[in-house]
Amino acid sequence: MMTPDRFRNTWAEINLAAIGYNIKQLKKLLPAESKVMTVVKADGYGHGSIQVAKTALDAGVDFLMVALLEEAVTLRENGITAPILVIGRVAPEYAYIAAENNITLAVFQLEWLKEIRNTNFKKKLLTHIELETGMGRTGICSKEELNAILHEYSINESIRLDGVFTHFATADEINSAYFHQQKERFDQLIKYIASIYPDELIVHTGNSAAGIQYSAQMQQYTRFGIATYGLYPSHEVKLLKHVDLQEAFSLYSELIQVKKLKAGECVSYGATYCAEEEEWIGTVPIGYGDGWRRALQGFHVLVNGRKMPIVGRICMDSMMIKLDQSYDVGTKVTLIGQDKEELISIDDVANFLHTINYEIPCMITSRVPRIYI
């Protein structure tokens, strides 16, 4: 018996050509010797890590970054052989899995290195040291810690130090003094490492915001995350107009019922919305179980190129919209994307929810199938 690729009439479309385009535009910003490290953590920011990784590699990227060892292993299991950095902490007892799969781990604790000292790796464990320069999250804070950590490398032949990096906290602000303080601290620590550690190391500092705003100051690699997907790290960075990006994520559904309400009739849980006159209501099969949050009540979608407000409380699996006329069951509903002359961008959704655009594609759950175009 043949079965379709998907049963749902709610789906997300991922434009891989837009992702490839964005990577090529971002590469143009950087110095000739600098390269791109594409960030595909959180399932490629909700776009699909495997498909995005393959697209990035086709676009000339040669390094990938994730947050979890599971994410890196998934890429390996799907035939991706390019270097991968796991930026989050991996429990010492699982470090051998990274070594066996040529996955690079971030190091920011002396105790972690001591715990793996007696591990018999079949292959050398590749690592990058993270330096804490002001993010206040993870990283090595002092020269004293660095000395102790570099000593561990000198007595453990099973691990190899390949790189060093930091993360900027305010690069999405224009000409932030705090950014410059972080960069100065990082530069000082890099000079110190170079004075006591003989091997050449990969250096990477920039995220999307730094890579766009301070592209000339980037090191061997720039970690482009949100910009890969056609989204700017902040409104201020977008206004710089240094790079043109194409949004890759769209979200669609269809009407499954259309009904006429009489004046006084109400919609959804709590009867928070009641018709003041006769009006058409459409039911759309997407809800907070799909990541389309209840807080989006009062936002709008597009039907036939027109804005239609979301009315009543959003349910787990469905929501209702106020229509300007009767439409057929099966009529397309655009939640994110273009419909004729109207557009709902990810930024529009984020602004309504008082959050950042990063969160929006990540919040759409795996119940919503991704269609790649």
Q: What is the DSSP letter of 233?
A: S
* Integer Cα distance of 205 and 223 in angstroms: 8
Known active-site residue 153: no
Q: At what angle do helices 49-58 and 16-29 cross, to 10 degrees?
A: 50
Hey, how many other C-beta atoms are within 10 angstroms of the C-beta on 9? 17
Locate 370 and state its tokens: 């991704």
* Integer Cα distance of 307 and 343 in angstroms: 9
User: Is the distance from CB of 14 to CB of 248 less than 8 angstroms?
Assistant: yes
Hey, how many other C-beta atoms are within 10 angstroms of the C-beta on 170? 18
User: Is the distance from CB of 40 to CB of 49 less than 8 angstroms?
Assistant: yes
Hey, how many other C-beta atoms are within 10 angstroms of the C-beta on 277? 8
Known active-site residue 269: yes
Amino acid symbol at 261 = L
In three-state secondary structure terms, 264 is coil
Q: Measured between alpha carbons, how far apart are the two ends of the chain, in Å?
A: 26
User: Is the distance from CB of 266 to CB of 308 less than 8 angstroms?
Assistant: no
For the chain, the maximum distance between any two Cα atoms, rounded to a whole number of angstroms, is 79
Q: Which of 41, 54, 183, 322 is catalytic?
A: 41
282-317 burial: b if 16+ Cβ within 10 Å, else e: bbbbbbbebbbbeebbebbbbbbeeebebbbbbbee
Q: Which of 94, 178, 192, 269 is catalytic?
A: 269
* Integer Cα distance of 201 and 61 in angstroms: 19
Q: If you compute the radius of gyration of the chain from its CA atoms, what whole number of angstroms results? A: 24
In three-state secondary structure terms, 323 is strand
Catalytic residue list: 41, 269
